[in-house]
A and B are shown apart, each in its own frame.
Chain A
Protein backbone atom coordinates (compact mmCIF):
# COMPACT_ATOMS: atom_id res chain seq x y z
CA UNK A 1 0.00 0.00 0.00
CA UNK A 2 2.84 2.35 0.91
CA UNK A 3 6.28 1.41 -0.29
CA UNK A 4 9.14 3.67 0.79
CA UNK A 5 12.49 3.09 -0.86
CA UNK A 6 15.66 4.79 0.23
CA UNK A 7 13.83 8.04 1.01
CA UNK A 8 15.96 11.14 1.57
CA UNK A 9 14.34 14.36 2.63
CA UNK A 10 15.06 17.47 4.64
CA UNK A 11 14.77 21.21 5.16
CA UNK A 12 16.97 23.84 3.56
CA UNK A 13 20.55 22.64 3.33
CA UNK A 14 20.27 19.73 5.74
CA UNK A 15 18.95 16.25 5.12
CA UNK A 16 16.94 14.80 7.96
CA UNK A 17 16.10 11.41 6.48
CA UNK A 18 19.04 9.45 5.07
CA UNK A 19 17.60 6.60 3.10
CA UNK A 20 14.50 5.32 4.87
CA UNK A 21 12.88 2.18 3.49
CA UNK A 22 9.70 0.48 4.66
CA UNK A 23 6.77 -1.37 3.26
CA UNK A 24 3.30 -1.17 4.73
CA UNK A 25 0.11 -2.95 3.81
CA UNK A 26 -3.63 -2.51 4.43
CA UNK A 27 -4.94 -3.25 7.90
CA UNK A 28 -1.68 -2.44 9.63
CA UNK A 29 -1.43 -0.02 12.53
CA UNK A 30 2.14 1.17 12.51
CA UNK A 31 3.77 3.36 15.13
CA UNK A 32 6.76 5.50 14.22
CA UNK A 33 8.95 6.01 17.24
CA UNK A 34 12.33 7.47 17.96
CA UNK A 35 14.08 10.14 19.97
CA UNK A 36 13.48 13.84 19.34
CA UNK A 37 14.86 14.93 15.98
CA UNK A 38 14.99 11.40 14.62
CA UNK A 39 12.84 12.31 11.63
CA UNK A 40 9.34 11.08 12.59
CA UNK A 41 7.59 14.28 11.55
CA UNK A 42 9.77 14.68 8.48
CA UNK A 43 8.86 11.19 7.30
CA UNK A 44 5.15 11.91 7.65
CA UNK A 45 5.45 15.28 5.91
CA UNK A 46 7.34 13.68 3.04
CA UNK A 47 4.70 10.97 2.69
CA UNK A 48 1.92 13.57 2.76
CA UNK A 49 3.57 15.54 -0.04
CA UNK A 50 4.26 18.59 2.11
CA UNK A 51 8.05 18.22 1.87
CA UNK A 52 9.67 17.50 -1.49
CA UNK A 53 11.35 14.13 -1.84
CA UNK A 54 15.05 14.66 -2.49
CA UNK A 55 16.03 11.12 -3.30
CA UNK A 56 14.45 7.70 -3.30
CA UNK A 57 10.87 6.87 -3.99
CA UNK A 58 7.49 6.66 -2.32
CA UNK A 59 4.89 4.47 -3.98
CA UNK A 60 1.26 4.57 -2.93
CA UNK A 61 -0.87 1.67 -4.09
CA UNK A 62 1.79 0.91 -6.64
CA UNK A 63 2.10 4.42 -8.10
CA UNK A 64 5.02 6.78 -7.69
CA UNK A 65 3.69 9.62 -5.52
CA UNK A 66 5.53 12.20 -7.62
CA UNK A 67 3.35 11.31 -10.59
CA UNK A 68 0.03 11.65 -8.76
CA UNK A 69 -1.70 15.06 -8.74
CA UNK A 70 -1.99 16.56 -5.22
CA UNK A 71 -5.77 16.14 -5.05
CA UNK A 72 -5.52 12.50 -6.10
CA UNK A 73 -2.99 11.90 -3.33
CA UNK A 74 -5.58 13.28 -0.91
CA UNK A 75 -8.10 10.69 -2.15
CA UNK A 76 -5.82 7.92 -0.95
CA UNK A 77 -4.15 9.37 2.10
CA UNK A 78 -5.39 11.71 4.82
CA UNK A 79 -3.09 13.52 7.24
CA UNK A 80 -3.58 14.86 10.71
CA UNK A 81 -0.83 17.39 11.40
CA UNK A 82 0.91 17.81 14.72
CA UNK A 83 -0.20 21.38 15.06
CA UNK A 84 -2.68 23.42 13.12
CA UNK A 85 -2.69 27.13 12.66
CA UNK A 86 -6.02 28.69 13.46
CA UNK A 87 -5.64 32.34 12.63
CA UNK A 88 -9.35 32.89 12.16
CA UNK A 89 -12.31 31.41 14.03
CA UNK A 90 -13.66 29.01 11.42
CA UNK A 91 -16.53 26.77 12.48
CA UNK A 92 -15.68 23.17 13.32
CA UNK A 93 -18.02 21.92 10.63
CA UNK A 94 -16.28 24.01 7.96
CA UNK A 95 -12.97 22.47 8.94
CA UNK A 96 -14.35 18.93 8.75
CA UNK A 97 -15.97 19.75 5.41
CA UNK A 98 -12.51 20.64 4.06
CA UNK A 99 -11.92 16.89 4.06
CA UNK A 100 -14.21 16.80 1.03
CA UNK A 101 -12.17 19.45 -0.80
CA UNK A 102 -10.05 16.94 -2.78
CA UNK A 103 -13.26 15.67 -4.38
CA UNK A 104 -14.45 19.09 -5.61
CA UNK A 105 -14.23 20.06 -9.24
CA UNK A 106 -12.95 23.56 -10.01
CA UNK A 107 -16.36 25.11 -10.51
CA UNK A 108 -18.37 22.76 -8.30
CA UNK A 109 -19.29 23.27 -4.67
CA UNK A 110 -19.71 21.01 -1.67
CA UNK A 111 -22.77 18.85 -2.27
CA UNK A 112 -25.39 17.61 0.14
CA UNK A 113 -23.65 14.24 0.20
CA UNK A 114 -20.35 15.96 1.12
CA UNK A 115 -22.14 17.59 4.05
CA UNK A 116 -23.62 14.27 5.13
CA UNK A 117 -20.23 12.58 5.02
CA UNK A 118 -18.70 15.38 7.07
CA UNK A 119 -21.59 15.17 9.55
CA UNK A 120 -21.15 11.41 9.85
CA UNK A 121 -17.43 11.85 10.51
CA UNK A 122 -18.25 14.32 13.28
CA UNK A 123 -20.74 11.93 14.86
CA UNK A 124 -18.22 9.15 14.69
CA UNK A 125 -15.58 11.20 16.50
CA UNK A 126 -18.14 12.43 19.02
CA UNK A 127 -17.98 16.12 18.15
CA UNK A 128 -21.30 16.49 16.38
CA UNK A 129 -22.51 18.95 19.00
CA UNK A 130 -19.61 21.27 18.17
CA UNK A 131 -20.55 21.70 14.50
CA UNK A 132 -21.31 25.40 14.77
CA UNK A 133 -18.75 26.14 17.47
CA UNK A 134 -15.81 28.20 16.32
CA UNK A 135 -12.31 26.76 16.51
CA UNK A 136 -11.15 29.20 19.15
CA UNK A 137 -13.87 27.98 21.50
CA UNK A 138 -13.00 24.27 21.65
CA UNK A 139 -10.50 22.44 23.85
CA UNK A 140 -7.28 20.85 22.62
CA UNK A 141 -8.80 17.38 22.68
CA UNK A 142 -11.88 18.51 20.79
CA UNK A 143 -9.76 20.27 18.20
CA UNK A 144 -7.71 17.12 17.68
CA UNK A 145 -10.92 15.22 17.06
CA UNK A 146 -12.04 17.89 14.58
CA UNK A 147 -8.86 17.24 12.59
CA UNK A 148 -9.38 13.48 12.84
CA UNK A 149 -12.98 13.88 11.68
CA UNK A 150 -11.68 15.83 8.70
CA UNK A 151 -9.30 12.98 7.89
CA UNK A 152 -12.18 10.49 8.20
CA UNK A 153 -14.30 12.66 5.89
CA UNK A 154 -11.58 12.28 3.27
CA UNK A 155 -12.57 8.57 3.13
CA UNK A 156 -9.05 7.35 2.47
CA UNK A 157 -7.56 3.91 2.98
CA UNK A 158 -4.44 5.44 4.54
CA UNK A 159 -4.27 7.69 7.60
CA UNK A 160 -1.12 9.53 8.60
CA UNK A 161 -1.00 11.11 12.04
CA UNK A 162 1.70 13.10 13.74
CA UNK A 163 1.47 12.78 17.52
CA UNK A 164 -2.32 12.91 17.63
CA UNK A 165 -2.27 12.52 21.40
CA UNK A 166 0.29 15.18 22.23
CA UNK A 167 -1.04 17.57 24.88
CA UNK A 168 -4.19 15.54 25.54
CA UNK A 169 -5.23 14.25 28.96
CA UNK A 170 -5.45 10.45 29.43
CA UNK A 171 -9.16 10.33 28.59
CA UNK A 172 -8.53 12.28 25.38
CA UNK A 173 -5.61 10.03 24.45
CA UNK A 174 -7.63 6.86 24.82
CA UNK A 175 -10.58 8.31 22.94
CA UNK A 176 -8.41 9.37 19.99
CA UNK A 177 -6.51 6.09 19.76
CA UNK A 178 -9.67 4.00 20.12
CA UNK A 179 -11.05 5.88 17.10
CA UNK A 180 -7.90 5.16 15.12
CA UNK A 181 -7.97 1.51 16.13
CA UNK A 182 -11.58 1.19 14.97
CA UNK A 183 -10.70 2.68 11.61
CA UNK A 184 -7.73 0.33 11.42
CA UNK A 185 -9.93 -2.70 12.12
CA UNK A 186 -12.06 -1.69 9.13
CA UNK A 187 -9.02 -2.23 6.96
CA UNK A 188 -7.32 1.18 6.90
CA UNK A 189 -3.57 1.51 7.14
CA UNK A 190 -2.86 3.79 10.10
CA UNK A 191 0.61 5.25 10.33
CA UNK A 192 1.18 7.27 13.42
CA UNK A 193 4.16 9.06 14.92
CA UNK A 194 3.99 8.59 18.68
CA UNK A 195 6.19 10.03 21.35
CA UNK A 196 4.75 7.91 24.14
CA UNK A 197 6.36 4.45 23.86
CA UNK A 198 3.75 2.69 25.96
CA UNK A 199 0.85 4.15 24.05
CA UNK A 200 2.39 2.92 20.80
CA UNK A 201 3.00 -0.54 22.27
CA UNK A 202 -0.61 -0.86 23.40
CA UNK A 203 -2.21 0.18 20.10
CA UNK A 204 0.24 -0.60 17.29
CA UNK A 205 0.92 -4.08 15.88
CA UNK A 206 4.11 -2.93 14.30
CA UNK A 207 6.72 -0.37 15.29
CA UNK A 208 9.30 1.44 13.21
CA UNK A 209 12.07 3.04 15.22
CA UNK A 210 13.92 5.94 13.63
CA UNK A 211 17.20 7.36 14.85
CA UNK A 212 19.21 10.08 13.17
CA UNK A 213 17.13 9.78 10.04
CA UNK A 214 17.52 6.03 9.58
CA UNK A 215 15.36 3.02 10.41
CA UNK A 216 17.02 1.19 13.29
CA UNK A 217 14.30 -1.32 14.11
CA UNK A 218 11.20 -2.35 12.22
CA UNK A 219 9.00 -5.25 13.17
CA UNK A 220 6.06 -6.58 15.18
CA UNK A 221 5.72 -4.84 18.54
CA UNK A 222 6.36 -8.07 20.44
CA UNK A 223 9.70 -8.56 18.72
CA UNK A 224 11.21 -5.09 18.66
CA UNK A 225 9.85 -3.59 21.87
CA UNK A 226 12.37 -4.95 24.35
CA UNK A 227 14.66 -3.47 26.97
CA UNK A 228 17.84 -3.93 24.94
CA UNK A 229 16.52 -2.22 21.78
CA UNK A 230 14.88 0.62 23.65
CA UNK A 231 17.90 1.30 25.85
CA UNK A 232 20.11 1.47 22.79
CA UNK A 233 17.80 3.64 20.72
CA UNK A 234 17.04 6.14 23.47
CA UNK A 235 20.52 6.09 25.02
CA UNK A 236 19.15 5.51 28.50
CA UNK A 237 18.39 2.55 30.71
CA UNK A 238 14.88 1.29 29.95
CA UNK A 239 13.14 -1.75 31.48
CA UNK A 240 10.12 -3.51 30.07
CA UNK A 241 7.13 -5.02 31.85
CA UNK A 242 3.62 -5.98 30.75
CA UNK A 243 0.39 -4.01 30.54
CA UNK A 244 -1.95 -5.50 33.16
CA UNK A 245 -4.83 -5.99 30.72
CA UNK A 246 -3.57 -6.13 27.17
CA UNK A 247 -0.26 -7.75 28.08
CA UNK A 248 1.45 -5.41 25.64
CA UNK A 249 5.06 -4.64 26.58
CA UNK A 250 5.45 -1.40 28.52
CA UNK A 251 8.63 0.60 28.94
CA UNK A 252 9.91 2.16 32.15
CA UNK A 253 12.90 4.42 32.31
CA UNK A 254 15.21 4.26 35.29
CA UNK A 255 15.85 7.39 37.32
CA UNK A 256 19.31 7.73 38.80
CA UNK A 257 18.13 7.51 42.40
CA UNK A 258 16.87 3.96 41.89
CA UNK A 259 19.41 2.70 39.40
CA UNK A 260 21.30 0.80 42.11
CA UNK A 261 18.21 -0.95 43.55
CA UNK A 262 17.84 -4.67 42.93
CA UNK A 263 15.54 -5.48 40.04
CA UNK A 264 13.13 -8.33 39.59
CA UNK A 265 12.27 -7.13 36.15
CA UNK A 266 13.00 -10.00 33.87
CA UNK A 267 10.46 -8.34 31.64
CA UNK A 268 7.34 -10.42 32.19
CA UNK A 269 6.44 -10.16 35.84
CA UNK A 270 3.28 -8.30 36.76
CA UNK A 271 5.08 -5.51 38.55
CA UNK A 272 8.33 -5.21 36.79
CA UNK A 273 8.84 -1.55 37.48
CA UNK A 274 11.42 -1.35 40.19
CA UNK A 275 10.20 1.44 42.36
CA UNK A 276 11.91 2.29 45.60
CA UNK A 277 9.86 1.44 48.70
Chain B
Protein backbone atom coordinates (compact mmCIF):
# COMPACT_ATOMS: atom_id res chain seq x y z
CA UNK B 1 0.00 0.00 0.00
CA UNK B 2 1.52 3.30 -0.99
CA UNK B 3 2.08 6.02 1.56
CA UNK B 4 -0.11 8.52 -0.28
CA UNK B 5 -3.00 6.08 -0.38
CA UNK B 6 -2.62 5.34 3.33
CA UNK B 7 -2.44 9.05 4.06
CA UNK B 8 -5.78 9.71 2.35
CA UNK B 9 -7.37 6.80 4.16
CA UNK B 10 -6.26 8.07 7.56
CA UNK B 11 -7.08 11.70 6.74
CA UNK B 12 -10.53 10.61 5.56
CA UNK B 13 -11.02 8.51 8.68
CA UNK B 14 -10.05 11.50 10.80
CA UNK B 15 -12.59 13.74 9.12
CA UNK B 16 -15.30 11.08 9.33
CA UNK B 17 -14.52 10.47 13.00
CA UNK B 18 -14.89 14.17 13.79
CA UNK B 19 -18.43 13.98 12.42
CA UNK B 20 -19.39 10.57 13.77
CA UNK B 21 -18.02 11.39 17.22
CA UNK B 22 -20.69 14.08 17.55
CA UNK B 23 -23.44 11.41 17.51
CA UNK B 24 -22.64 10.23 21.01
CA UNK B 25 -23.71 11.89 24.22
CA UNK B 26 -26.16 11.75 27.10
CA UNK B 27 -28.75 13.78 25.18
CA UNK B 28 -30.65 11.80 22.57
CA UNK B 29 -30.34 13.67 19.28
CA UNK B 30 -31.21 11.88 16.03
CA UNK B 31 -28.30 11.36 13.68
CA UNK B 32 -29.95 13.22 10.81
CA UNK B 33 -30.34 16.26 13.05
CA UNK B 34 -26.70 16.09 14.13
CA UNK B 35 -25.52 15.93 10.52
CA UNK B 36 -27.86 18.79 9.58
CA UNK B 37 -26.32 20.96 12.26
CA UNK B 38 -22.76 19.93 11.35
CA UNK B 39 -23.59 20.51 7.68
CA UNK B 40 -24.70 24.05 8.41
CA UNK B 41 -21.24 24.82 9.78
CA UNK B 42 -19.56 23.97 6.51
CA UNK B 43 -22.48 25.46 4.55
CA UNK B 44 -23.96 22.26 3.18
CA UNK B 45 -27.41 22.47 4.75
CA UNK B 46 -29.71 25.30 5.79
CA UNK B 47 -29.56 26.98 9.16
CA UNK B 48 -32.99 26.29 10.64
CA UNK B 49 -33.26 23.46 13.18
CA UNK B 50 -36.15 24.67 15.28
CA UNK B 51 -34.40 24.21 18.58
CA UNK B 52 -31.34 26.39 19.17
CA UNK B 53 -30.33 24.27 22.20
CA UNK B 54 -29.67 21.30 19.94
CA UNK B 55 -27.18 23.27 17.93
CA UNK B 56 -25.49 24.40 21.15
CA UNK B 57 -25.18 20.78 22.32
CA UNK B 58 -23.85 19.52 19.00
CA UNK B 59 -21.52 22.38 18.16
CA UNK B 60 -20.37 23.82 21.49
CA UNK B 61 -20.30 20.67 23.58
CA UNK B 62 -19.84 17.67 21.31
CA UNK B 63 -17.92 19.05 18.33
CA UNK B 64 -15.49 21.00 20.52
CA UNK B 65 -14.86 17.93 22.60
CA UNK B 66 -14.33 15.70 19.58
CA UNK B 67 -11.95 18.22 18.02
CA UNK B 68 -10.02 18.64 21.27
CA UNK B 69 -9.62 14.91 21.79
CA UNK B 70 -8.34 14.52 18.22
CA UNK B 71 -5.87 17.38 18.72
CA UNK B 72 -4.61 16.03 22.04
CA UNK B 73 -4.23 12.54 20.61
CA UNK B 74 -2.30 13.89 17.63
CA UNK B 75 -0.10 16.02 19.91
CA UNK B 76 0.71 13.15 22.26
CA UNK B 77 1.55 10.78 19.40
CA UNK B 78 3.77 13.35 17.67
CA UNK B 79 5.66 14.27 20.82
CA UNK B 80 6.03 10.58 21.65
CA UNK B 81 7.64 9.99 18.25
CA UNK B 82 9.96 12.97 18.79
CA UNK B 83 11.01 11.88 22.28
CA UNK B 84 11.67 8.33 21.11
CA UNK B 85 13.79 9.67 18.25
CA UNK B 86 15.91 12.24 20.07
CA UNK B 87 16.41 10.10 23.17
CA UNK B 88 17.07 7.04 20.95
CA UNK B 89 14.79 5.15 23.25
CA UNK B 90 11.87 3.14 21.89
CA UNK B 91 10.28 3.17 25.34
CA UNK B 92 10.26 6.95 25.69
CA UNK B 93 6.91 8.70 25.64
CA UNK B 94 5.73 12.30 26.13
CA UNK B 95 5.92 11.73 29.88
CA UNK B 96 9.46 10.37 30.06
CA UNK B 97 11.22 13.57 30.96
CA UNK B 98 8.77 14.70 33.60
CA UNK B 99 6.91 17.45 31.75
CA UNK B 100 3.56 15.81 32.40
CA UNK B 101 4.30 15.35 36.10
CA UNK B 102 5.10 19.06 36.17
CA UNK B 103 1.73 19.80 34.61
CA UNK B 104 0.03 17.45 37.07
CA UNK B 105 1.76 19.20 39.95
CA UNK B 106 0.69 22.63 38.69
CA UNK B 107 -2.89 21.43 38.34
CA UNK B 108 -2.81 19.76 41.76
CA UNK B 109 -1.60 23.00 43.36
CA UNK B 110 -4.44 24.91 41.71
CA UNK B 111 -7.00 22.35 42.90
CA UNK B 112 -5.45 22.26 46.39
CA UNK B 113 -5.70 26.02 46.82
CA UNK B 114 -9.19 26.07 45.31
CA UNK B 115 -8.09 28.19 42.38
CA UNK B 116 -9.05 25.71 39.70
CA UNK B 117 -12.27 27.45 38.78
CA UNK B 118 -10.93 31.00 38.93
CA UNK B 119 -11.75 32.50 35.53
CA UNK B 120 -8.67 33.96 33.90
CA UNK B 121 -8.88 32.90 30.28
CA UNK B 122 -12.28 33.58 28.73
CA UNK B 123 -14.58 31.13 30.47
CA UNK B 124 -12.00 28.44 31.05
CA UNK B 125 -10.71 28.68 34.56
CA UNK B 126 -7.20 28.74 36.01
CA UNK B 127 -6.52 24.99 35.87
CA UNK B 128 -4.98 24.68 32.38
CA UNK B 129 -2.82 27.74 32.96
CA UNK B 130 -1.52 26.31 36.24
CA UNK B 131 -0.79 23.01 34.51
CA UNK B 132 1.05 24.76 31.69
CA UNK B 133 3.17 26.70 34.18
CA UNK B 134 3.94 23.45 35.98
CA UNK B 135 4.98 21.82 32.71
CA UNK B 136 7.37 24.68 31.89
CA UNK B 137 8.76 24.65 35.42
CA UNK B 138 9.52 20.94 35.15
CA UNK B 139 11.11 21.36 31.72
CA UNK B 140 13.37 24.15 33.02
CA UNK B 141 14.34 22.01 36.00
CA UNK B 142 15.19 19.05 33.76
CA UNK B 143 17.28 21.17 31.38
CA UNK B 144 19.19 22.94 34.16
CA UNK B 145 19.81 19.63 35.97
CA UNK B 146 21.09 18.23 32.67
CA UNK B 147 23.36 21.24 32.18
CA UNK B 148 24.81 20.89 35.68
CA UNK B 149 25.72 17.33 34.78
CA UNK B 150 27.62 18.61 31.73
CA UNK B 151 26.12 18.31 28.29
CA UNK B 152 22.53 17.70 27.29
CA UNK B 153 23.13 14.11 26.37
CA UNK B 154 20.23 11.74 26.22
CA UNK B 155 21.28 9.69 29.26
CA UNK B 156 21.55 12.86 31.35
CA UNK B 157 18.17 14.06 30.14
CA UNK B 158 16.38 10.82 30.98
CA UNK B 159 18.00 10.70 34.42
CA UNK B 160 17.17 14.34 35.13
CA UNK B 161 13.60 13.67 33.96
CA UNK B 162 13.24 10.73 36.34
CA UNK B 163 14.59 12.78 39.26
CA UNK B 164 12.23 15.68 38.59
CA UNK B 165 9.21 13.43 37.99
CA UNK B 166 9.82 11.41 41.16
CA UNK B 167 10.24 14.53 43.26
CA UNK B 168 7.08 16.12 41.88
CA UNK B 169 5.08 12.91 42.32
CA UNK B 170 6.05 12.98 45.99
CA UNK B 171 4.83 16.57 46.23
CA UNK B 172 1.52 15.62 44.57
CA UNK B 173 1.12 12.79 47.08
CA UNK B 174 1.83 15.28 49.84
CA UNK B 175 -0.87 17.64 48.55
CA UNK B 176 -3.34 14.75 48.39
CA UNK B 177 -2.65 13.67 51.95
CA UNK B 178 -2.94 17.23 53.25
CA UNK B 179 -6.40 17.77 51.87
CA UNK B 180 -8.84 14.89 51.61
CA UNK B 181 -11.35 16.96 49.69
CA UNK B 182 -9.15 17.76 46.75
CA UNK B 183 -8.08 14.13 46.28
CA UNK B 184 -10.94 13.28 43.92
CA UNK B 185 -10.30 16.34 41.80
CA UNK B 186 -6.59 15.65 41.56
CA UNK B 187 -7.05 11.94 40.82
CA UNK B 188 -9.63 12.58 38.14
CA UNK B 189 -7.50 15.26 36.51
CA UNK B 190 -4.39 13.12 36.58
CA UNK B 191 -6.20 10.23 34.87
CA UNK B 192 -7.13 12.54 32.03
CA UNK B 193 -10.57 13.54 30.82
CA UNK B 194 -12.30 15.71 28.25
CA UNK B 195 -15.40 16.26 30.36
CA UNK B 196 -16.64 19.83 30.25
CA UNK B 197 -13.96 20.99 27.81
CA UNK B 198 -14.91 23.68 25.31
CA UNK B 199 -13.63 25.69 22.36
CA UNK B 200 -11.81 27.87 24.92
CA UNK B 201 -9.55 24.94 25.74
CA UNK B 202 -8.76 24.48 22.06
CA UNK B 203 -7.98 28.18 21.74
CA UNK B 204 -5.75 27.95 24.81
CA UNK B 205 -3.76 24.96 23.55
CA UNK B 206 -3.69 25.79 19.83
CA UNK B 207 -0.85 28.36 19.77
CA UNK B 208 1.52 26.00 21.62
CA UNK B 209 0.52 23.03 19.52
CA UNK B 210 0.99 25.00 16.33
CA UNK B 211 4.35 26.50 17.34
CA UNK B 212 5.65 23.14 18.53
CA UNK B 213 4.46 21.37 15.39
CA UNK B 214 6.11 23.90 13.07
CA UNK B 215 9.47 23.64 14.86
CA UNK B 216 9.33 19.83 14.90
CA UNK B 217 8.53 19.75 11.20
CA UNK B 218 11.45 22.05 10.36
CA UNK B 219 13.81 19.82 12.32
CA UNK B 220 12.30 16.47 11.34
CA UNK B 221 15.26 15.45 9.12
CA UNK B 222 17.61 16.07 12.01
CA UNK B 223 15.59 13.61 14.13
CA UNK B 224 16.50 10.85 11.67
CA UNK B 225 20.15 11.75 12.01
CA UNK B 226 20.03 12.16 15.80
CA UNK B 227 18.39 8.75 16.09
CA UNK B 228 21.70 7.29 14.88
CA UNK B 229 23.72 8.85 17.67
CA UNK B 230 25.46 12.13 18.47
CA UNK B 231 28.82 11.25 16.98
CA UNK B 232 27.35 10.56 13.55
CA UNK B 233 25.16 13.63 13.76
CA UNK B 234 28.20 15.84 14.34
CA UNK B 235 30.07 14.14 11.51
CA UNK B 236 27.24 15.18 9.20
CA UNK B 237 27.34 18.77 10.41
CA UNK B 238 24.42 18.64 12.86
CA UNK B 239 24.92 20.58 16.06
CA UNK B 240 23.59 17.67 18.10
CA UNK B 241 23.21 19.28 21.53
CA UNK B 242 21.53 22.38 20.19
CA UNK B 243 19.14 20.60 17.84
CA UNK B 244 18.20 18.12 20.57
CA UNK B 245 17.43 21.00 22.93
CA UNK B 246 15.25 22.75 20.34
CA UNK B 247 13.32 19.54 19.64
CA UNK B 248 13.03 18.80 23.34
CA UNK B 249 11.48 22.19 24.03
CA UNK B 250 9.15 21.92 21.03
CA UNK B 251 7.94 18.43 21.96
CA UNK B 252 7.56 19.47 25.60
CA UNK B 253 5.56 22.48 24.47
CA UNK B 254 2.97 20.38 22.72
CA UNK B 255 2.98 17.79 25.51
CA UNK B 256 2.47 20.56 28.08
CA UNK B 257 -0.37 22.09 26.07
CA UNK B 258 -2.07 18.71 25.60
CA UNK B 259 -1.73 17.71 29.25
CA UNK B 260 -2.90 21.15 30.41
CA UNK B 261 -6.26 20.80 28.75
CA UNK B 262 -6.77 17.05 29.05
CA UNK B 263 -4.77 15.70 31.97
CA UNK B 264 -2.26 12.88 31.81
CA UNK B 265 -3.38 10.41 29.13
CA UNK B 266 -1.01 7.50 28.80
CA UNK B 267 -0.12 4.98 26.09
CA UNK B 268 -1.15 7.04 23.03
CA UNK B 269 2.29 8.63 22.82
CA UNK B 270 4.01 5.29 23.34
CA UNK B 271 1.96 2.88 21.23
CA UNK B 272 0.95 4.96 18.20
CA UNK B 273 4.49 5.77 16.95
CA UNK B 274 5.42 2.09 17.36
CA UNK B 275 2.45 0.99 15.33
CA UNK B 276 3.22 3.47 12.55
CA UNK B 277 6.89 2.50 12.55
CA UNK B 278 6.00 -1.16 12.09
CA UNK B 279 3.98 -0.39 9.00
CA UNK B 280 5.86 2.53 7.43
CA UNK B 281 9.43 2.29 8.72
CA UNK B 282 11.29 4.69 10.94
CA UNK B 283 11.81 7.79 8.76
CA UNK B 284 10.55 10.62 10.91
CA UNK B 285 8.79 12.81 8.36
CA UNK B 286 6.15 10.21 7.45
CA UNK B 287 6.26 8.88 11.01
CA UNK B 288 5.22 12.26 12.41
CA UNK B 289 2.40 12.80 9.93
CA UNK B 290 0.91 9.33 10.32
CA UNK B 291 1.37 9.33 14.09
CA UNK B 292 -0.59 12.57 14.30
CA UNK B 293 -3.47 11.18 12.22
CA UNK B 294 -3.59 7.83 13.98
CA UNK B 295 -3.11 9.34 17.45
CA UNK B 296 -6.00 11.72 16.83
CA UNK B 297 -8.32 8.95 15.66
CA UNK B 298 -7.36 6.66 18.55
CA UNK B 299 -7.91 9.22 21.28
CA UNK B 300 -11.11 10.54 19.73
CA UNK B 301 -12.72 7.08 19.81
CA UNK B 302 -11.25 6.32 23.23
CA UNK B 303 -13.04 9.41 24.49
CA UNK B 304 -16.29 8.34 22.80
CA UNK B 305 -15.92 5.02 24.61
CA UNK B 306 -15.11 6.77 27.89
CA UNK B 307 -18.36 8.73 27.84
CA UNK B 308 -20.67 5.99 26.59
CA UNK B 309 -19.44 2.77 28.16
CA UNK B 310 -21.18 3.26 31.52
CA UNK B 311 -24.94 2.93 31.17
CA UNK B 312 -25.80 5.39 33.94
CA UNK B 313 -24.38 8.33 32.04
CA UNK B 314 -21.29 8.69 34.25
CA UNK B 315 -17.97 9.12 32.50
CA UNK B 316 -14.75 7.19 32.87
CA UNK B 317 -11.49 9.13 32.75
CA UNK B 318 -10.28 8.62 29.17
CA UNK B 319 -6.81 7.79 30.54
CA UNK B 320 -8.32 4.63 31.99
CA UNK B 321 -9.58 3.56 28.57
CA UNK B 322 -6.25 4.23 26.82
CA UNK B 323 -4.35 2.35 29.51
CA UNK B 324 -6.78 -0.60 29.51
CA UNK B 325 -6.74 -0.87 25.73
CA UNK B 326 -3.16 0.29 25.18
CA UNK B 327 -1.46 -2.01 27.65
CA UNK B 328 -2.58 -5.34 26.18
CA UNK B 329 -2.26 -3.93 22.67
CA UNK B 330 1.36 -3.03 23.32
CA UNK B 331 1.99 -6.59 24.49
CA UNK B 332 0.53 -7.86 21.22
CA UNK B 333 2.81 -5.53 19.26
CA UNK B 334 5.85 -6.82 21.13
CA UNK B 335 4.79 -10.41 20.57
CA UNK B 336 4.33 -9.88 16.87
CA UNK B 337 7.67 -8.15 16.67
CA UNK B 338 9.50 -10.97 18.39
CA UNK B 339 7.77 -13.46 16.08
CA UNK B 340 8.92 -11.46 13.07
CA UNK B 341 12.45 -11.72 14.33
CA UNK B 342 12.03 -15.45 14.70
CA UNK B 343 12.27 -15.52 18.48
Contacts and interface: CB of A to CB of B under 8 A. Distances in A.
Interface in B126-162: none
Contact of B277 (A74, A86, A88, A109): A88
A95 B228 contact: yes
Contacts of B90: 87-88
A94 interface: yes
A96 to B, nearest CB: 12
B236 A101 contact: yes
Contacts of A72: 237
Interface in A58-94: 69-74, 78-79, 81, 84-91, 94
Interface in B64-109: 84-85, 88-90
Interface string B168-208: 00000000000000000000000000000000000000000
Interface stretch (B110-118, B218-226, B290-298, B315-323): B218-226
A134 interface: yes
Contact of A48 (B228, B234, B239): B234
Most buried by A among B224, B231, B239, B281: B231
A70 B239 contact: yes
Interface string B227-238: 111111011111
A47 to B, nearest CB: 10
Nearest to B282: A88
Interface string A92-118: 001100110110101101000000000
Contact of B224 (A79, A94, A109): A94
B57 to A, nearest CB: 44
A90 B237 contact: no
Q: Classify chain A's interface size.
A: 20 to 34
Contacts of A48: 234-235
Contacts of A89: 277, 281-282
B236 A45 contact: no
A87 B221 contact: no
A54 B282 CA distance: 37
Interface in B247-277: 277
A101 B225 contact: yes
Given A98-B224, A101-B221, A134 B235 contact: no
A50 interface: yes
Contacts of A88: 84-85, 90, 227, 277, 282
B283 interface: yes
Given A89-B281, A90-B281, A106-B218, A81 B232 contact: yes
B198 to A, nearest CB: 36
Most buried by A among B90, B236, B281: B236
Contacts of B218: 106-107
10 contacts: A49-B235, A50-B234, A70-B234, A70-B239, A84-B232, A85-B232, A88-B84, A90-B281, A99-B236, A106-B218
3 residue pairs, one from A and one from B, having the closest CB atoms? A88-B282, A71-B237, A74-B237
Interface of B: 84-85, 88-90, 218, 221, 224-225, 227-232, 234-239, 277, 281-283
